[in-house]
Each structure stands twice: as structure tokens, then as C-alpha cells.
Amino acid sequence: MRVATALPWLALAGVVGYVSWHDSWPRGSSPSTTSLAQEYALPNTGGTSTGPVSYAPAVSRAAPAVVNIYTTQKIRTMVNPLLEHPWFRFHGEQLPRERTASSLGSGVIVSSDGYILTNDHVVASADSIVVALRDGREVAAKVIGTDPDTDLAVLKVQLDKLPVLPFKTSASAVGDVVLAIGNPFGVGQTVTQGIISAIGRSGLGINTYEDFIQTDAAINPGNSGGALVDVSGNLIGVNSAIYSRSGGSMGIGFAIPAPLAKQVMQDIISQGHVVRGWLGIEIGSSGLGNGDESRNANGQQPIIIAGVMPGGPGERGGLQTGDELKTVMDVKVTSADQVIRQIASLKPKTSAEIEVLRDGKLRTLTVTMGERPKQRSKEE
């Protein structure tokens, strides 16, 4: 489980909010409990709650397709050259030249013939991978391919007729109830429940391409690569990271959305890697744009090209350092993360029209897309 340190002010926000609300009532005039209940009561629709009394049916459908993953890695140990002297070898104990490190995570079976989705950081640099199924079977797995840019990997086990977790086809929304299934701390398969706290989270600095589902369902080390499912037992995300001060759950977890995970999985299975468009430019937001008139309605800084790779597709197409990106294929540029994802979605060797603001004038350039070079796993 990848852990990002929580910002200190997050812990204070609830206290400040409570004090401000409590002090908003005039002295000696705080309302009665009855009046508060009447003011904030939900309207009576005359019906009964339609929410499930138990999530057991969803768990029964999803849990058999969530696996535990155990990996080992041989790590070379540095030995002082002086200890290679015959005297040390004769009089002292022989120091080990390598050690074995082990780790654990989770995965999701996505096909009955043995393909499994998990996180790249769960299997990166692993020398051996063992998958443990819910029915007690354990089997070796091999890596079909990885995508460090989204922290996803596809494994394969030599089994068939496996239970499969179906991808959710409809959109999820903030407030939807979700279940996280995985192997936290290696204690065994565990289910936790929460809601979707936010969708489309980006700019976190966790992955190159970010479009996270945020949830308050408890996610801990060992949950990485496990399933985030809806109340019908459909896969809506692959659990990947948390914000934490302690290393454990603080109610801020992130999952890679199922549509992105499915697209990455399909590319890896069919091509061995994910094919993405590439311009060879560095993108950022800066005050070095072309004046206040270039800011959007929210007062955000313009999205500019901070650097251009010599000889890359962007330079060949006429893009320059300092250009402010306005549109890509007629889609308005709203943020650095948004335009990075959009560029990646374009196919290599195709033409892309890019509108930039340069020296106060709008220019439309036609650029032939390149293919993004394969990235190394973050643990390598």
C-alpha cells in the first residue's frame, strides 16, 4: 500500500468547523433540541428505506474473485572488500551475499482463464509471486505486463473456470456505498464498508495519470490491488493508495477507477504494454503566461509548456517553451492533469491540432503524435 503523509491542517479542520458553528448562536439563545430536529429533519416521503439491510449478497458475489498475493525478492547484500581476505573467511563467519524480502498485496480475477489485476507496486521487482485463492488453493503467477504510469499490473495463473469480478458499466457518484475487499496486514481476506467521498481526484503526485476514486472505506497496507465494489458486487475500482500519518487507514483512500483499469488491462493483454500518445513536452501551471486576460473564470494560472524535448514530436510540430496551451483537439485545457491525460489518449502517428497563445496571438499547430516511451516500475 502506497502511503502519502497527510497534511497537518486536515486534523484541525473539524475542530475549527465545530467551534465556528457552535459560536454562531447568540448567547443565551441556543435553540432547543426539538427545534433543531424539526429544522434539519429529512422530509417524510411516506415510504420506507430501500437501502440494503445486509451487504452479504454483494460480498458473496465479489469476494471469491479477490485474491491474496505474496511476493519474494532476492536483494544483493553489499560486502566490504576487506572481508574477502582469506584470514576473515577462515576466522570469521561467512556473511550472506543476498537476502530475501517478502511482501503482500491483493488482486482481482478479471477472467475465468486466470488473468488478475493488481498494483504495479505490489509485484515490481518480485522474483516469485504466489496467488492464494479464497478456496485455499495457492498457485504461482507470472507478470504479463505492468503500467507504472497508472500503478497497474496484469498477472496470469494457470487455472481455469475461476470466479470473475465483473466491471461496473454505469457511472459511480459521490455518496454511493462501496465495499473494499483485500488482505490488510496479511490477516486474511477482509471486507470494509464506506462511501465514495470524491471522484476524479488528481494532482496528488502518486501516479503520472491520476483520476482516482476517493473513499472512506478502511484501506490498509495489504489492500493494494484489491477490489472496491458497489453494493451489487461489481468492480468500480482497484485500491491503490492512502493518505495517512500512522501508516494505517485514516478514512482517505484512493482507488483507480474501473474504466481506466479495464483499458490498461486490455492493452497489456493484447499488446504487452499500454500505448499512449506523447509530445515530448513538460507541462505546468505558472504565472509566466500572457497576462491576467489569459486566466480562466476561477482565476487559475494558465497552463504553459515549461520545456520541449529537442527533436521530439512537439518541437517538430512547432511547439515552444512558454506557449500557453488553450485547446487540444478542440477540447479546452483546464488543468495540467487534464491535458496530460488527453495527450496520452491520442494515438501515436495521428495528427493533433493544438491551439496555443504565443506573444498575445492564438496559433493553431498540427502535430504528429509520438508514442510515450515505456516507463520503469517505481520500485525498480
Instruction: Please answer whether residues 229 and 62 qualify as being in contact, where contact means their C-beta atoms are separated by less than 8 angstroms.
Output: yes
Q: How confident is the model at residue 358 (pLDDT cuts 50, 70, 90)?
A: very high
- The pTM of the full predicted model, rounded to 2 decimals, is 0.74
At 87 the pLDDT is: 53
pLDDT digits (tens, 9 = 90+) for 184-207: 988 899 999 999 999 999 888 888
At 31 the pLDDT is: 43
Query: Which positions are catalytic?
Result: 121, 151, 224
pLDDT digits (tens, 9 = 90+) for 125-163: 889 999 999 999 999 999 999 999 999 999 999 999 999
User: How far from 31 is each of 16, 21, 191, 258, 295, CA to CA, in Å?
Assistant: 21, 13, 41, 47, 45
Residue 289 has pLDDT above 70, yes or no: no
CA distance 195 to 214: 9
277-371, which class in CATH? mainly beta
Give me the count of residues in the chain.
Answer: 380
Q: Which fold has domain 58-157?
A: Thrombin, subunit H (2.40.10)
- How many Å from the N-terminal Cα to the C-terminal Cα in the chain? 16
Which CATH superfamily, name and number, covers 177-271? Trypsin-like serine proteases (2.40.10.10)
Q: Where are the domains of the chain?
A: 58-157, 177-271, 277-371
Mean pLDDT across the stretch 350-360?
A: 94
Do 58-157 and 177-271 show the same overall fold? yes
Q: How confident is the model at residue 82 (pLDDT cuts 50, 70, 90)?
A: low
Q: How confident is the model at residue 10 (pLDDT cuts 50, 70, 90)?
A: very low
